[in-house]
Amino acid sequence: MADSSFDIVSKVERQEVDNALNQAVKEISQRYDFKGTNASISWSGEKILMQANGEERVLAILDIFQTKLIKRGISLKSLDVEGEPQLSGKEYKLFASVTEGISQENAKKVAKAIRDEGPKGVKAQVQGDELRVSSKSRDDLQAVQTLLKGKDFEFAIQFVNYR
C-alpha cells in the first residue's frame, strides 16, 4: 500500500484580505470618531497603508482591520505590522504586509516537532515553501495534525492535499 500524505502550507486567500480591507474602509467612513480625520486604509503596492491624523486613530484602524480579518477566517499570524505609527508630515502612517509561505527555518521547526513528538514512521520533508508529511498510517497523519494544531507557532499553518 502506498504512503498517505498531506502538505503543511501557510497561504492567505488574497480575495479574503481584499474583502476585509473593503469592510474596514466602509466602517471607517461610517464611524463618528473618524469624521474629519482623513483616516484611511488602502493597498500601497504589496503592503497595506493605514493613515490618520493621530497615532491612536491609526492604531484604531489597525484594530478594525484585524477584526475584519478574523471574521473572514484569516489568522493574524499572517499579518506583519511594521513597527509603530510614523509621523509623515501632518499624518501618522502605519504599514502592514500579508506573509505567505513557510520559510526554511520555520519548516525545520515544524519538522523537528513532528520528529520529536509525533508518531514513529512519520516522515516530513521540505518542498519549497511547504512541508510534505507522509506515513503508511492515516491515523498517524491525523495524530500529527492534532499535535501541530496544539502547538503555537509564530506563523499560520494550514493542511492541504490530504491523500
CA dist 37 to 23, 27, 33, 55, Å? 18, 14, 8, 11
pTM score:
0.83
What is the per-residue pLDDT across 3-20, written as a single tens digit (0 to 9) for each?
Answer: 888 888 988 899 999 999
pLDDT tens, position by position, 26-36: 999 999 988 88
pLDDT, tens digit, for every residue of 39-97?
A: 999 999 899 999 999 899 999 999 999 999 999 999 999 999 998 999 988 899 999 99
Distance (Å, whole) CA 55 – CA 20: 22
Mutual orientation of helices 138-150 and 104-117 as an angle, nearest 10°?
120
The dihedral over CA atoms of 76, 79, 82, 84, expressed in degrees to the nearest 10, equals -30
The letter for the amino acid at 85 is: P
Q: Which one-letter DSSP state was computed for residue 3?
A: P
CA 7 – CA 1 distance, rounded (Å): 19
